[in-house]
Amino acid sequence: MSDLFDDAGIVIVDDDDDFLDEAKRLFDGRIPTVRTIADAQRGVEEGSVDLVILGPSFAHEAGLQGVGVLLELDPDLAIVMVAGTITAPLLRSAMRAGLKDVVEAPLTVQSVSDAVGQIERKVRRQRPAAPPSEPYASPAGEGKVVAVMSAKGGSGKTVTATNLAMLLAQRHDPARVCVVDADLQFGDVCLVLQLEPKLTMVNAAHELHRLDEPLLESLLTTHPSGLRVLAAPLEPAFADEISTAAMTEIITKLRGMFDYVIVDTASLLDELLLSLLERADQVLYVLDMDLPSVKNAKLALETLRLLKFPGSKVQLVLNRSNARARLDEKEIERSLKLKISAAIPSDGMVPASINEGRPVVESAPRSRVARGFDSVYDLVATDVKQDTSGKPGKRRWMP
């Protein structure tokens, strides 16, 4: 076991012998265990505790009452709770009490190292940032929303969204990047990233009337890289529970919480997609290299023009750019009246990476296809320096 747990200043609190014995066994007795919050308080007063892990005996509203004392002593203290069953009311109480996270029992080495990782990231974030190295911070201090769309299924939206998010996570603060799976019926962002979400945007939609930042944060799924995901409903039938208004409100909240919000969408030019596009700072249109895709793109982009959607927001990403049935790129640009801004080659590593659950920019960062995703990253990460607010009047549609 690494020194991680020795150095982090952790204490585990619970009054159940079995839980404490298991925790001692798990960490070879290297993490101190105590029975009451009053016992943990001593360590907090001495300044030797950074992370308090509350066991399942605290997993009810009354159990959280003593927590306020600890946070009064040290407002930066991280408190994480282990609960047998995570319910929305419990989450709400936990977030209101100021807890950082609630994880499902049993306690594991992974859940504790994730919690330690979060404290480290928080510390990193608190360091004063050198202003020039933060090119992606929008002037208003709000994050950038990037919608990934296509009017043809299977053109590579999810692959593009997840690889882009992973690059942003690798090159910036991963905890400041969030992917929203807005393909409500058949979203597969979590599948592609090998995540098993416990909570999804259905929970967010249900809690909309009291959805503050801590509660929304608790509904996100964290990838091992630190990247956050707001998962799509687990079953297509639940898609109806998410109204367009709910989705746009959630996106607005996430914009205030993250530097980048990458929204994967379904290939359906409906009210939901149009509202998402309207709220996005940047729209990446993923175009597959075949005629039906070009035909659909032409129709979709024409519709956006008719709706007076600002052309400055839309950028064309050509996928499978080296496909065997190559179309002429100039011809595509002329037909769509839009320049190709980035290109991703076709590569068998992409489906393999999906099966493996690791985006190709992570598993094969030097590959040609990863360099293709780099060109997408360049559009998103550097573009922020310019004004991408999509204010009316700024058009990039070609005549």
Ligand X SMILES: Nc1ncnc2c1ncn2[C@@H]1O[C@H](COP(=O)(O)OP(=O)(O)OP(=O)(O)O)[C@@H](O)[C@H]1O
33, 150, 158, 315: which one binds Mg ion (CB under 5 A): 158
- Residues 360, 373 contacting (CB under 8 angstroms): yes
From the list ligand X, Mg ion, none, partner contacted by residue 388 (C-beta under 5 to 8 A by kind):
none
Q: How far is the CB of 134 from Mg ion (least distance, A)?
A: 31
The region that residue 28 occupies, defined by phi over 0 for left and psi between -120 and 50 for alpha, beta otherwise, is left
| Exposed/middle/buried for residue 268 (C-beta within 10 Å: 0-12, 13-18, 19+) | middle
Distance separating alpha carbons of residues 131 and 148, to the nearest angstrom: 29
Count, residues in the chain: 399
Stretch that binds ligand X, among 22-30, 214-222, 306-314, 345-353 (CB under 6 A): 345-353
Tokens encoding 188: 């597969």
Helices then strands, counting H and E runs in the chain, come out as 17, 13
357 binding ligand X? (CB under 6 A): no
Distance separating alpha carbons of residues 67 and 238, to the nearest angstrom: 35
Binding mask 77-116 toward ligand X (x if CB under 6 A, else -) reads ----------------------------------------
156, 174, 310, 390: which one binds ligand X (CB under 6 A): 156
Q: 3-class SS at 179?
A: strand
How many residues bind ligand X, per CB under 6 A? Answer: 19
From the list ligand X, Mg ion, none, partner contacted by residue 344 (C-beta under 5 to 8 A by kind):
ligand X
Distance separating alpha carbons of residues 31 and 41, to the nearest angstrom: 16
From the list ligand X, Mg ion, none, partner contacted by residue 320 (C-beta under 5 to 8 A by kind):
ligand X
How many residues bind Mg ion, per CB under 5 A? Answer: 2
Nearest Cα residue to 260 out of 173, 330, 191, 152:
173
Binding mask 117-146 toward ligand X (x if CB under 6 A, else -) reads ------------------------------
**Strands (DSSP E) found in 214-256:** 221-222, 228-230
Which DSSP string do the residues of 363-396 spell out, in sequence order? H-TTSHHHHHHHHHHHHHHHHTTS--S--TT---
155 binding Mg ion? (CB under 5 A): no
Q: How far is the CB of 203 from ligand X (least distance, A)?
A: 22
Q: 179-191 burial, b if ≥16 CB within 10 A, otherwise e?
A: bbbbbbeebebbb
From the list ligand X, Mg ion, none, partner contacted by residue 41 (C-beta under 5 to 8 A by kind):
none
350 binding ligand X? (CB under 6 A): yes
When the beta carbons of 64 and 350 are compared against ligand X, the nearer one is 350
66, 117, 153, 365: which one binds ligand X (CB under 6 A): 153
Distance separating alpha carbons of residues 90 and 20, to the nearest angstrom: 22
Scan residues 266-285 and list those touching ligand X (CB under 6 A): 267
When the beta carbons of 77 and 232 are compared against ligand X, the nearer one is 232
Q: Which residues bind ligand X (CB under 6 A)?
A: 150, 153-159, 183, 267, 319-320, 344, 346-347, 350-351, 354, 369
Q: What are the residues binding Mg ion (CB under 5 A)?
A: 157-158
